[in-house]
């Protein structure tokens, strides 16, 4: 969700991305939000997320090791550099991120009713140490 300084909603992004890890989904959401903010002409951005890993990696305090996340991180940092006044990163508690969760759920629901209509969850992995 993209808002102005007064909290007015300027734009929303909600899309289904298919089967992905939570970390990939968090990066994809950040990239979509940064892209939308840039397209709306944002002078500066405060990117908030309830993903501590995402925020710490984008702020440069945590290393990115996973090859997929490295590519997404580079894309997000490139978008951040395209915002004239820069991007600040803030970790927020999940309960302060309800609107983002609503948009994420809307995207998942759209994917499940469209391209992901035939998706079924995989069976859980067998126990490594049964009976322990």
11 φ, ψ (degrees, to nearest 5): -170, 155
pLDDT-derived band at 68 (thresholds 50, 70, 90) equals very high
95: which DSSP letter? Answer: G
| Of 30-34, 51-55, 115-119, minimum mean pLDDT range | 115-119
d(CA 24, CA 46): 20
d(CA 110, CA 119): 13
d(CA 81, CA 79): 5
Q: Report the 10 Å Cβ neighbour count for 4.
A: 10
d(CA 65, CA 49): 20
CATH top class, domain 2-109: alpha beta
Mean predicted lDDT score pLDDT of the chain = 86
One-character DSSP codes across 16-64? ---S--HHHHHHHHHHHHHHHHHHTT-SSEEEEES-HHHHHHHTTSS--
Q: Is the pTM of this model over 0.75?
A: yes
pLDDT at 112: 67
Return the SS3 of 84. coil
pLDDT at 6: 84
Query: Which is higher by pLDDT, 104 or 28?
Result: 28
| Domains of the chain, residue spans | 2-109
Which run of H or E residues covers position 2? strand 2-3
Contact between residue 76 and residue 117 where contact means Cβ atoms under 8 Å apart: no
């Amino acid at each position: 969700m993209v808002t102005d300084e007064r909290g007015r909603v300027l734009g929303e992004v909600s899309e289904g991305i298919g089967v992905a890890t939570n970390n990939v989904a968090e990066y994809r959401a950040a990239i979509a939000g940064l892209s939308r903010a840039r397209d709306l002409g944002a002078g500066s951005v405060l990117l908030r997320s309830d993903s501590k890993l995402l925020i710490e990696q984008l702020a440069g305090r945590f290393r990115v090791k996973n090859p997929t996340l490295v590519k997404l991180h580079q894309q997000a940092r490139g978008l951040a550099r395209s915002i004239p006044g820069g991007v600040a990163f803030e970790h927020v508690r999940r309960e302060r991120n309800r609107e983002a969760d609503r948009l994420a759920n809307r995207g998942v629901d759209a994917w499940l009713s469209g391209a992901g209509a035939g998706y079924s969850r995989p069976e859980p992995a067998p126990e490594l140490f049964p009976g322990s």
